[in-house]
Amino acid sequence: MNKKILLPFFIMAAVLTFSSCSKLKPLAGEYIKAEPQPLEAVGGQVPVTINATFPPTWFNKQAVVTITPVLRYQGGEAWGTAYTFQGEKIAGNNQVIPQAAGANVTLKSSFTYKPELKKSELFLTFSAKLKGKAVQLPEIKIGEGVIATSEWADAATATAALAADKFQRIIKEAHDANIMFLIQQAELRSNELNKTEIKDWTNLVKNADIAPNQNVAVEISAYASPDGGLKLNTGLAEKRESNTSSFLAKELKNAKVDVPVDAHYTAQDWEGFKELVSKSNIQDKDLVLRVLSMYTDPEKREQEIKNISATFKTLADEILPQLRRSRLIANIEIIGKSDDEISNLAKSNPGSLTVEEILYAATLTKDTSEKEAIYKKASELYPNDYRTWNNIGLSRFFAGDLTGAEQQFNKATSVNANPESNLNLALIALTKGDKAKAQQLLGSASGVAELSEALGVLYLEQGEYAKAVTSFGAVKSNNAALAQILTKDYSKAQQTLGDVEKSDAVTDYLKAVVAARTNNSAGVISSLKAAIAKDKSLAAEAARDLEFAKYASNSDFASTVK
């Protein structure tokens, strides 16, 4: 065959072969899948997992392709993580895609959430080079919209911590005095009866009896030491109690004091013996204590202890004499001011109240302005008590003045580091989106009753919904219900929302979300109407919320959110 005739055919074949191997075709949408659909905000981020397939023969051996997801919304766009892949003949460190076999790849990315992303479109963009030259590949739309239900988490509605007062209406005090006896004797000795300790105790009882805000009762408890046998000690202790009772009756009569007296005796004071031995430094202390724990029979105990001959002498000299006594106890109840007295003084003469009384006074009113005024007066009178500053901050927090609240909480910690203010500052940090600081502060809030709820909010905002549910426990709040919604426990969420004490527009909105997720169209409409009646801005919110996307064509829904 003529070579001139064949040459054009060889050239054409070469061109066709080169052309088919040198181009990158657009990647069809059927090879790409993004999850979840629609996207969902989790812990302040919008994560996406993209599974892509490079079909056989698609990826040229001399190609480099960078794939980047981008989320576009009105007024801007957010770029995700870029992934670069290369052909088999490219020298580089990127993942190699075999031309003949192709490959499946997974691209994980995340976008920082902001409200504009609710109405957005997710695209996959391509930047490609073939033999060093740029190749244009069209982007592919792979998703639309973001569900942002998790963003209803609100630390500002969580229960902040009150630094509580320690006010007690009745303060109980016990004052002791001891009359000591010689071994195996029950006679009262003048040197014991004339002790300053006894005279001071008698005067204490007299003054308490006279005081209009005090009640007093007297107790006599006579003892014998646990040596000498049970029969001997029983008689001895009984006689000591009798003599002490006679003496005290005369003393109270002379002082014109009429108070109830309860007298009793203990034959062998083993409990007192054990306590004194435990606090002592005597030799073989542990051995003596072990004998007490091993034997319950008094005679056996006494015998075993006496067998420790060297130690028993020390016990006889140092411990046993302290147990031969009659113990006089004055049980005094100091009755504090009534609620009315405290409330009136808080207004007329707050300086006459103790710090505990004035802090308690604030709890007696439901008027938030009056409550805050009392705390402010408390801070003027007792500036070195952190509770006064914390509780002013609490009033500001409940009023929605988070800046003012933060200032007061910081003042409280500057006066004295305390767990209540740390918890409250953690809630403030969460309202600012500073989860790391909040977590640190909550680590220093142990022992505060509200800690579990605050941790629940933290977990909620971190996207750890199961932990949030556990931490909230039995709390009935919008935040607790939101955690249950996000763990798909809709029955529990509905129950929690129904039990929220101070139901608001968000409570009703979350009820609508539960209804939408459980295909309750009537519940969606009724709950949204209730929410919008309390907050008109929620109409526009519901209109663009993908939670209600399937109701867009519902005429009742449309009229509700218009």
**pLDDT tens per residue across span 249-306:** 999 999 999 999 999 999 999 999 999 999 998 888 899 899 888 988 888 888 888 8
Stretch among 8-12, 519-523, 548-552 having the lowest mean pLDDT? 8-12
Does 422 fall in a domain?
Answer: no
- 130 shares a domain with 28: yes
- Let me know if residue 419 belongs to a domain: no
Whether 89 and 202 map to the same domain: the answer is: no
83 and 196 housed in the same domain? no
Residue 128: inside a domain: yes
Looking at the structure, do residues 326 and 229 belong to the same domain, yes or no? yes
The structure's pTM equals 0.78
Q: What's the pLDDT tens digit per position in 487-516? A: 999 999 999 999 999 999 999 999 999 999
Domain stops at, among 266, 301, 335: 335
Residues 6+ apart with CB under 8 A from 95: 83, 84, 85, 86, 103, 105
**Do both 75 and 107 map to the same domain?**
yes
Residues 104 and 183 in one domain: no
Domain extent for 251: 170-335
pLDDT band at 309 (very low <50, low <70, confident <90, very high): low
CATH number at residue 301: 3.30.1330.60
The C-alpha angle 42, 48, 51, rounded to 5 degrees, equals 155
Looking at 335, 366, 390, which one is the last position of a domain? 335
In a domain, 385, yes or no: no
Residue bearing the bigger pLDDT, 68 or 287? 68
Number of alpha helices (DSSP H) and beta strands (DSSP E) in the chain: 23, 16
Q: At residue 11, does pLDDT exceed 70?
A: no
Residue 102: give its domain's CATH number.
2.60.40.10
Question: Is 423 domain-assigned?
Answer: no
Whether residues 182 and 306 share a domain: the answer is yes
Residue 256 lies in a domain: yes
Query: What is the per-residue pLDDT across 141-189, written as a single tens digit (0 to 9) for each?
Result: 999 999 999 999 999 999 999 999 999 999 999 999 999 999 999 999 9
pLDDT in tens, 516-543: 999 999 999 999 999 999 999 999 999 9
Name the one residue in this structure whose structure tokens are 């997720």: 517
Domain count, the chain: 2
Whether the per-residue pLDDT at 548 is higher than 60: the answer is yes
Say whether both 129 and 203 belong to one domain.
no
225: in domain? yes
Which of 275, 301, 335 represents a domain boundary (last residue)? 335
Whether residue 135 sits in one domain with residue 46? yes
CA distances from residue 307 to 206, 227, 313 in whole angstroms, order as listed? 48, 13, 11
On the question of pLDDT at 14 being above 70, the answer is no
pLDDT of 224 over the 80 cut = yes
DSSP assignment, residue 23? Answer: -
Amino acid at 84: T
CA torsion sign, 25 to 26 to 28 to 32? positive
Asked if 365 and 374 touch (Cβ cutoff 8 Å), the reply is yes
Same domain, 235 and 136: no
- Terminal-to-terminal C-alpha distance of the chain: 81
369 within a domain of the structure (yes/no): no
Q: What is the mean pLDDT of the chain?
A: 93
| Residues 242, 317 within the same domain | yes
Q: Considering Cα of 480, then 482, then 483, then 484, what sign does the dihedral take?
A: positive
- Average pLDDT (18-29) is 69
Beta strands 83-86 and 63-73, pairing class: antiparallel
Q: Can you give the pLDDT at residue 66?
A: 98
Q: How confident is the model at residue 115 (pLDDT cuts 50, 70, 90)?
A: very high
Tell me the mean pLDDT in the region 215-224.
96
- The DSSP result for 355-413, as a single string, is HHHHHHHHTT---HHHHHHHHHHHHHH-TT-HHHHHHHHHHHHHTT-HHHHHHHHHHHH
